[in-house]
């Protein structure tokens, strides 16, 4: 029997009568991490004043230090935010855009983030420029770089990049895209919602101006744990979506307190990192990537359809075109859940209907065989 898949399912509270192929959307928090979060909550409620007045500032920084170590960043360049959406809002909303400035996005930019860009640009009389990226993408990312470069101009104030796209599960050639944007004189904000825990991260050398990422997706942290990293020189003018007591007192002071709330998801991030270490962080990433690759190739061969990207641009998620014509993606997704108890995102893209599979430690090939059989029965 494999050491993963069935063998590790006891770590999660997921309902195993269903097939979970959608770790990418909301993650799934292992029991030891939920237990650590619960301990933080009990400590908070037992010593409430001392917890908020004295313990919390230190504990926030000590959790940030562990996360920063994982991201290869300096502790005080990393602050917690509730989710990647909040990280993106913090940066886009803090930039003083002028009329005529441009924000570069692409057709695969996460929709909530497109909305932030449009909202902030409209308030300033600035413009959002959207380029179309190739999909499916069969090369090493050069076609993505070319499409991205076509949208850069001397007016590009800010370029938004997804490290791993949501709708198409492509691991973008971020280093090359960042270099191109910076060469054009633009600031670069990377949306790494899916990246921590799925691909290696080295923020010290990546070259971005800002990077936000979720801990609650692939890193196994509880919901509501994400981070924002900013280059030192930018930090004084970056503000959280909620401005509070820390205004003007620096990046860490502004973000570490944004009003009374339950900080247990942030403080449980070290437990999530420790949970990963029981298996080995690199081993988890390699195993999940290999399983997503095997499952993706198996499904594409079974259905005689296409994969969404070459293996060099893939992580723990893969896109596979479905062998179906007609019907809508939401109907199909609902049918897979209602008739087969399979949770998997279904999207209409590139004249076809595609599924996005995820591979987390609890998945195994039988999960994808069930998906293949369910589609055959449709
Ligand atoms: C690329 C991208 N950005 C942002 C988000 C939003 O993440 P959250 O809901 O945690 O803010 C997602 C979620 O899937 C995403 O895929």
Residue recorded with tokens 């049918």: 335
The domains of the chain are located at 5-21+281-377, 34-274
Tokens found for residue 137: 């993408």
Burial class (CB in 10 A: 0-12, 13-18, 19+), 17: exposed
- Alpha-helical (H) ranges within the chain are 23-26, 31-46, 48-50, 56-71, 84-94, 111-124, 142-149, 174-183, 203-206, 251-256, 264-267, 269-279, 281-303, 329-340, 365-377
Would you mind telling me the total number of residues written for the chain in this entry?
A: 378
Best mutation site among 89, 112, 113, 211 for ligand 1 pocket (most ligand atoms within 8 Å of CB): 112
Q: Decide if 5-21+281-377 and 34-274 have a common fold.
A: no
What is the per-residue pLDDT for 319?
98
Number of helical H runs and strand E runs in the chain:
15, 12
Q: Which DSSP symbol is given to 154? A: T
Q: Residue 213 C-alpha to ligand 1 middle, in angstroms?
A: 9
Q: Is 82 in the pocket of ligand 1 (CB under 6 A)?
A: no
Best CATH choice for the domain 34-274 from the list 3.40.50.150, 1.10.600.10, 3.40.50.1360, 3.40.640.10: 3.40.640.10
Q: Is 209 in the pocket of ligand 1 (CB under 6 A)?
A: no
Q: What tens-digit pLDDT sequence spans the chain (378 residues)?
A: 689 999 999 999 999 999 999 999 999 999 999 999 999 999 999 999 999 999 999 999 999 999 999 999 999 999 999 999 999 999 999 999 999 999 999 999 999 999 999 999 999 999 999 999 999 999 999 999 999 999 999 999 999 999 999 999 999 999 999 999 999 999 999 999 999 999 999 999 999 999 999 999 999 999 999 999 999 999 999 999 999 999 999 999 999 999 999 999 999 999 999 999 999 999 999 999 999 999 999 999 999 999 999 999 999 999 999 999 777 999 999 999 999 999 999 999 988 999 999 999 999 999 999 999 999 988
What is the per-residue pLDDT for 1?
62
Tokens found for residue 263: 């900080």
Tokens found for residue 323: 């062998």
Q: Residue 358 C-alpha to ligand 1 middle, in angstroms?
A: 15
Best CATH choice for the domain 5-21+281-377 from the list 3.20.20.70, 3.90.470.10, 3.90.1150.10, 3.40.50.300: 3.90.1150.10
Beta bridge partners of 343: 20
Burial class (CB in 10 A: 0-12, 13-18, 19+), 54: exposed
Q: Residue 88 C-alpha to ligand 1 middle, in angstroms?
A: 10
What is the per-residue pLDDT for 377?
87
Best mutation site among 29, 89, 109, 110 for ligand 1 pocket (most ligand atoms within 8 Å of CB): 110
């Amino acid at each position: 029997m494999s050491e993963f898949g069935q063998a590790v399912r006891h770590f999660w509270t997921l309902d195993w009568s269903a097939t979970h192929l959608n770790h990418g959307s909301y993650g799934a928090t292992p029991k030891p991490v939920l237990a650590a979060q619960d301990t933080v909550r009990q400590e908070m409620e037992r010593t409430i004043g001392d917890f908020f007045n004295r313990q919390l500032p230190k504990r926030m920084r000590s959790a940030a230090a562990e996360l920063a170590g994982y991201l290869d960043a300096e502790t005080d360049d990393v602050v917690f935010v509730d989710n990647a959406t909040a990280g993106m809002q913090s940066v886009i909303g803090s930039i003083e855009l002028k009329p005529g400035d441009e924000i570069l996005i692409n057709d695969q930019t996460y929709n909530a983030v497109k909305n932030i860009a449009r909202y902030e640009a409209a308030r300033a009389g600035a413009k959002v420029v959207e380029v179309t990226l190739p999909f499916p993408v069969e090369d090493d990312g050069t076609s993505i770089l070319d499409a991205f470069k076509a949208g850069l101009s001397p007016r590009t104030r800010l370029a938004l990049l997804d490290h791993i796209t949501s709708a198409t599960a492509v691991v973008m050639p971020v280093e090359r895209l960042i270099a191109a944007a910076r060469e054009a004189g633009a600031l670069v904000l990377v949306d790494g919602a899916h990246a921590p825990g799925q691909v290696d991260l080295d923020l010290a050398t990546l070259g971005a101006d800002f990077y936000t990422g979720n801990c609650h997706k692939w890193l196994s942290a509880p919901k509501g744990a994400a981070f924002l990293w900013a280059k030192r020189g930018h930090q004084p003018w970056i503000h959280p979506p909620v401005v509070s007591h820390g205004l003007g007192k620096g990046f860490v002071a502004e973000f570490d307190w944004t009003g009374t709330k339950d900080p247990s998801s942030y403080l449980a991030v070290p437990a999530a990192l420790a949970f990963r270490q029981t298996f080995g962080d690199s081993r988890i990433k390699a195993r999940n990537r290999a399983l997503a690759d095997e499952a993706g190739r198996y499904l594409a061969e079974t259905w005689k359809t296409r994969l969404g990207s070459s293996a060099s641009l893939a992580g723990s998620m893969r896109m596979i075109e479905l062998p179906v014509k007609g019907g809508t993606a939401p109907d199909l997704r609902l049918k897979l859940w209602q008739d087969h108890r399979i949770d998997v995102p279904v999207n209409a893209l590139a004249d076809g209907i595609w599924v996005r599979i995820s591979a987390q430690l609890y998945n195994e090939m039988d999960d994808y065989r069930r998906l293949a059989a369910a589609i055959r029965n449709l």
